[in-house]
Amino acid sequence: MEVLRPQLVRIGGRIYRKNPIQEQTYQHEEEEEDFYQGFVECAEEPCDAYEVVQTQQGFRCTVKAPSLLYKHIVGKRGDTRKKLEVETKTSISIPKPGQEGEIVITGQHRSGVISARTRIDVLLLTFRRKQPFTHFLAFFLNEVEVQERFLKFQEEVLEKCSMDHGVDSTIFQNPKKLHLTIGMLVLLSEQEIQQTCEMLQQCKEEFIDDISGGKPLEVEMAGIEYMNDDPGMVDVLYAKVHMKDGSNRLQELVDRVLERFQASGLIVKEWNSVKLHATVMNTLFRKDPNAEGRYNLYTADGKYIFKERESFDGRNILKLFENFYFGTLKLNSIHISQRFTVDSFGNYASCGQIDFS
């Protein structure tokens, strides 16, 4: 990270500079990661983005956070909390591990309480981004017609292209899990799952009903494309999804949902638009049928996972099946799907949903 161009972090509608950090790594997994993020300055002063209450003893501010992230505020042997308290002249109370509650910051000076709150928010955001994704917003694409056509696609590809490098039956998607992802989520408590359900319902009331007209969106799943820039070395092959009437309503709908969830902080902003695609082949499936694309990046303790994968030669597949027709669907629900779990039908388990009609 360059000193003159530090990373910017948006919290509570304000932008903060995140200064270079000193990070230590440990050989033993049982040893907790221990580093402090350094001084964070508010982009504008005074910083009034937080609710700070004046008390008889001084000032008080609370932070809601899932218990899974408490250890990152405490730090190894409590060092992170102590450093925060000393530098901001505050006292920071954190619930015990496994107990849900609020982090409470108290101090004699309002500015110190705000400074502690800002730094805690940066710590929480940093470590939340290192958590593996737990859920995702998606349309299910597993109608019977589409599943049957997908199996036909798989059969024909294996019949005509099995001699091409890396092409075999292990890299095809499970037809029961065909889906269209809107965005990935890190939900670390039941409260955050409920917050996501409420946010999705707000989207329905504020703009989804208007875009959908209170009816399912009729779409076609047709044509294939690949993710990278070399058709001879493909890792992900996907089917394209578009509105049957040729309109842009599906793209508009998913982009506005993404924008709303990014603004709330429930989805980290990586893209400005959703790439409408349904994965049909993925080389991660070769070694792990339950793998889920590029989203297997971190373990629960924040360690990066490198997934070795053997690419396949997709040139013949792209030539022979460029316009393969998978079928039509009526998209009537957006689901909050839980990763690595399935329902009784073999699809991803849903923690909540909204229906268009």
135-355 homologous superfamily: Cyclic phosphodiesterase (3.90.1140.10)
For 263, residues 6+ apart whose C-beta sits below 8 A from its C-beta are: none
For residue range 212-237, list pLDDT tens digits in order.
Answer: 999 999 999 999 999 988 999 999 99
Which of 35-39, 57-61, 116-120, 237-241 shows the lowest mean pLDDT across its residues?
35-39
52-130 matches 135-355 in fold: no
The rounded distance, in Å, linking the Cα atoms of 103 and 186 is 20
Is 178:147 a contact under the CB 8 Å cutoff? Answer: yes
**In this predicted model, what pLDDT tens digit does every residue of 331-357 receive, in sequence order?**
999 999 999 888 888 889 999 999 999
Q: Distance (Å, rounded) from C-alpha 80 to C-alpha 73?
A: 6
CATH: 3.30.1370.10, 3.40.50.720, 1.10.10.10, 3.30.420.40. Which one for 52-130? Answer: 3.30.1370.10
Q: Average pLDDT of 174-195?
A: 94
Q: Where do the domains of the chain lie?
A: 52-130, 135-355
**For residue 217, how far is the Cα from the chain centroid?**
24
Measured between alpha carbons, how far is 237 from 278 in angstroms, rounded to an integer?
9
Predicted pLDDT at 307: 57
318, 228 Cβ separation under 8 angstroms: no
Measured between alpha carbons, how far is 333 from 345 in angstroms, rounded to an integer? 17
Each residue of 44-74: pLDDT tens digit? 344 567 889 999 999 999 999 999 899 999 9
* Residue 267 tokens, joined: 């989805």
- Within 8 A by CB and 6+ apart from 207, the residues are 253, 256
pTM value? Answer: 0.77
In the chain the beta strands, taken as DSSP E runs, fall at 7-11, 14-18, 40-42, 53-54, 59-64, 90-93, 102-107, 135-140, 179-185, 217-226, 236-243, 277-282, 325-331, 333-342, 348-355
